[in-house]
Amino acid sequence: MAGYRIEVRGTVQGVGFRPWVCRLARRMGVVGRVQNDPRGVSIEAFASTAVLGRFIDELRTDPLPTARIAELREAPIPDEDLDAFVIESSEASGRKALSIPPDLATCEDCTKELLDERDRRFEYPFTNCTACGPRFTIATGIPYDRAATTMSEFVMCEACRAEFDDVENRRFHAQPNACPECGPSLRLDRLDGHAATASNVLAHAAELLSRGKVVAVKGLGGFHLACDATDGAAVRRLRERKHRDEKPFAVMVQSLAEAGALAEISSEEGALLSAAERPVVLLRRRQDARLAVEVSPDTSLLGLFLPYTPLHHLLLAAARRPLVMTSANVSDEPICFENDEARRRLEGIADAILLHDRKIAMRCDDSVSRVIAGVPTIMRRSRGFVPRPIYLSRPVARPVLACGAHLNNTFCIAMEDTAYFGPHIGDLETVAALDFFEEAIERMQTILSVRPEVVAHDLHPGYPSTRYAQTRTELSVVGVQHHHAHVVSLMAEHGICDQVLGVAYDGTGFGEDGTSWGGDFLLCTAERYERVGTFRPIRLAGGNLAMREVWRIGYALLHDAYDGAPPRNATALLDGVPSSSLLLVKQMIEREINAPRARGVGRYFDGFGALALGRARSTHEGQVAIAWDQVANTSVVDAYPYEIDRRTTPWEVDLRPAVRAAVEDLAASAPPGDVSARFHNALIAATSELLDLLWAERGNLPVALTGGVFQNERLAAGIENVIRNKNEVLRHGAVPPGDGGIALGQALIADAVMRDKG
Ligand code: ZN
Ligand code: ZN
Ligand code: FE
């Protein structure tokens, strides 16, 4: 007999991994034990050397499909006299473990049962097993077992109990296990004053959808608003009722094949769509897609996702059409998740509401992913991912809570060698969003059983997340520069602690000097950074107003490029802006009244986009920037001129020559697509030239591309193509490049600051 201790790291908790190991061991005649530990699963196995070798091979080469093994390490241990293989409860290990896994999409086995007339769960919308179903969103406490979930009010029937207790069964210890006998049930309420039919609720919902009605649907982490995505009038109505401007809606389709009829899908994108996390995936819409233009009026990107609950599968099958499925909320408020709350808040928005009696304990919005220049990149990390840990290559000394930034807020808790992002909170613009933020922090602290000792926040004094951190006076409070945090988030994702050259491009972020940064080159580690490059600032006349009235930025570019006297043909590009408004903005810039300087590369996109597309306004953050990216003519390879000013500290990219060249192009009636391409090419060239200069001066450091602007595929791919032969290039994958990913970097920087203090 020989003995081995095998440590498995990765996504191995809450996916049925322990029972699977147990079955495998018993089949092979291996004795020992398996249990969860804080970092994954550990196995102690005893058998003959030959059998053990095969057992480990099997674990390595043919793992459970729902598990994702990041690392498997084995070491010999002394033989023990055992006669069986057992699953040991997590508590027995005596160490605290995060036992709550993320929610997972309905697995293949469960989907089959759902459609099998002979199965006792035929068409049962709450079917699940150890490999799938709700988890994080139903957990009310720890450890993760049925008593500490919202399923505790349902008592398992005999048949369900037998499955739950049988280690050979797919539902062994599946905490939300249920069936039509004993589990939750579905119901449809009309909110439009009509009576709902009691029988065949799904057929009724499908019928309403086919008549252009808006139906709210209770999902895993909250309610969606659904309507027929092929019906323009229905989609318009939904937009009006939800007060949603032109931001695209996500669309749920029944199958990968159906997704392929609406959008172009690469194999990587197909894998993302089908992954157990089931994010919304941003894809290129097909010209001939049978879909209302109102779904995404302003962009050729289309967000699609596949059903992830049995209820979705059944609803899509009954409706037989793609459905808009957008978070049920008004404007920027958090997603609705309680039945009474939903009925109250959705009155006047939804015509009916499809709901059930399994409570949602924790709100969790859909996640969003996109393949950016070949790399699957998460843009919003929430349902399906939270609370899965991110492993740190250097443990934090004390538990840290990092509060994130302002837009697309998420927070992060780091403890020992793991970091946990909370769910997507959204923009911290409303009282409801702030309440959600605080409540979610409390809950994450509870389920991680951790009390942070350090709290990190953005340097911006006006952010509600900053003010929240400053109320936690019982903790050590550390302010962290926004772009430093962006770079360190990316370093952490790649397990890098040594110095890198960070390129942080975004819309805005508070700088150490009190001005807005966002086009910054930082030589940095978690401990410190040096700002070695930036962009020439733009005056934002009217401050935040300029973000919506992007013509103000366009004008500021002209004013700067022509030394305060742009020619008539240049200002004519701002067609539709009254000359009195132009004059006012000119005066604000010249007298420096409410015209703060901003260096965000995102603002250059706004400004150039406004001039070349004749777009005076942006209805939501990034709208003009995204449109500007998509019009670019790929066959245009030349670039606008620019300068790099090395007399300043930090060095400065000056795009005034590019502005003048673009004005000449537009005066000569060049298509906006050509102007866009030359603008992108100029940014790519300027970035790589500045990197060359910095490498020569500071040594050959790896480059970290981060910030919301790197959601722009043309720019990310363009820069990577130019520099990848010269040096290592880091890009985001598992942590969002935008402000949704910033909290991780904040946590690690705060930890480093506290270490420095001793
Ligand atoms: Zn399942
Ligand atoms: Zn049952
Ligand atoms: Fe940012």
Among all bound ligands, the one having the nearest atom to the CA of 484 is: 3
Domain membership of residue 148 (yes or no) is: no
pLDDT tens by residue, 404-424: 999 999 999 999 989 999 999
**Angstrom distance (rounded) from CA 234 to CA 667:** 41
Q: How far is the CA of 170 from the centre of ligand 3 (A)?
A: 44
Q: Domain range for residue 722?
A: 535-730
Residue 564 falls inside a structural domain: yes
More confident residue, 191 or 626: 191
d(CA 3, CA 76): 6
- Per cent of the chain over pLDDT 90 is 80
Nearest ligand, measured from the Cα of 128: 1
* Region of residue 748 (left: phi > 0; alpha: psi -120 to 50; beta: else): alpha
CA 123 to ligand 3 center in whole angstroms: 45
Ligand 1 centroid–CA 105 distance in Å is: 8
703 alpha carbon to ligand 1 midpoint, in Å?
Answer: 42
In the numeric block, the tokens 């790896």 are attached to 702
Same structural domain, 654 and 711: yes
The token duo for 249 is 């809606």
- Would you give the distance in Å from CA 422 to the centre of its chain? 11
Same domain, 309 and 408: no
Q: How many CB atoms lie within 10 A of CB 90?
A: 23
Give residue 130 CA to ligand 1 midpoint distance, Å: 6
Distance from Cα 22 to the centre of ligand 3, integer Å: 46
Ligand 1 centroid from CA 313, angstroms? 13
Which tokens belong to 601?
């590369």
**Token code pair at residue 94:** 């005596």
Helix, strand and coil percent figures for the chain, each rounded to 5:
35, 20, 40
Return the ligand number nearest the Cα of 154: 2
Residues 548 and 659 in one domain: yes
Q: What is the pLDDT of residues 442-479, one digit of tens each?
A: 999 988 889 999 999 999 999 999 999 999 999 999 99
* Radius of gyration, CA atoms only, the chain: 27
pLDDT, one tens digit per residue, over 483-497 is 999 999 999 999 999
Q: What's the rounded mean pLDDT across residues 142-150?
A: 86
DSSP state of 147: G
Q: What is the pLDDT of residue 168?
A: 85
- Does residue 150 form part of some domain? no
29/57 same-domain check: yes
Q: How far is CA 672 from CA 298, 573, 678, in A?
A: 16, 12, 10
Residues 687 and 539 in one domain: yes
Same domain, 711 and 576: yes
End residue of a domain, out of 327, 356, 385:
356
Based on the domain organization, do 248 and 301 belong to the same domain?
yes
**Main-chain dihedrals φ then ψ at residue 746, nearest 5 degrees:** -55, -45
pLDDT tier, 331 (very low <50, low <70, confident <90, very high otherwise): low
**Segment 663-694, tens digit of pLDDT:** 999 999 999 999 999 999 999 999 999 999 99
- Tell me, yes or no, whether 116 lies in a domain: no
Q: How far apart are CA 121 and CA 112, in angstroms?
A: 10
CATH of the domain at 46: 3.30.70.100
Neighbours of ion ligand 3 (CB under 5 A): 506, 509, 739
H helix count then E strand count, the chain:
23, 31
User: For residue 58, is pLDDT > 80?
Assistant: yes
In angstroms, what is the span from residue 625 Cα to ligand 3's centroid? 15
State in Å: Cα 256 to ligand 2 middle.
31
The answer to whether 721 touches 480, Cβ cutoff 8 Å, is: no
Q: Pick the ligand that lies closest to the CA of residue 519.
A: 3
Residue at token pair 């005076």: 616
User: What distance in angstroms lies between residue 708's CA and the mean position of ligand 3's atoms?
Assistant: 6
Helices assigned H by DSSP within 451-578:
464-471, 482-493, 545-548, 551-561, 568-571
**Number of domains making up the chain:** 4
Span 511-541, pLDDT tens digits: 999 999 999 999 999 999 999 999 999 999 9
Q: Is 158 helix (H, G, I), strand (E, B) or coil?
A: helix
d(CA 680, CA 145): 52
Q: Which ligand ends up closest to the CA of 182?
A: 2
**How remote is the CA of residue 32 from the centroid of ligand 2, in Å?**
32
Please check the confidence at residue 38 and state whether its pLDDT lies above 80: no
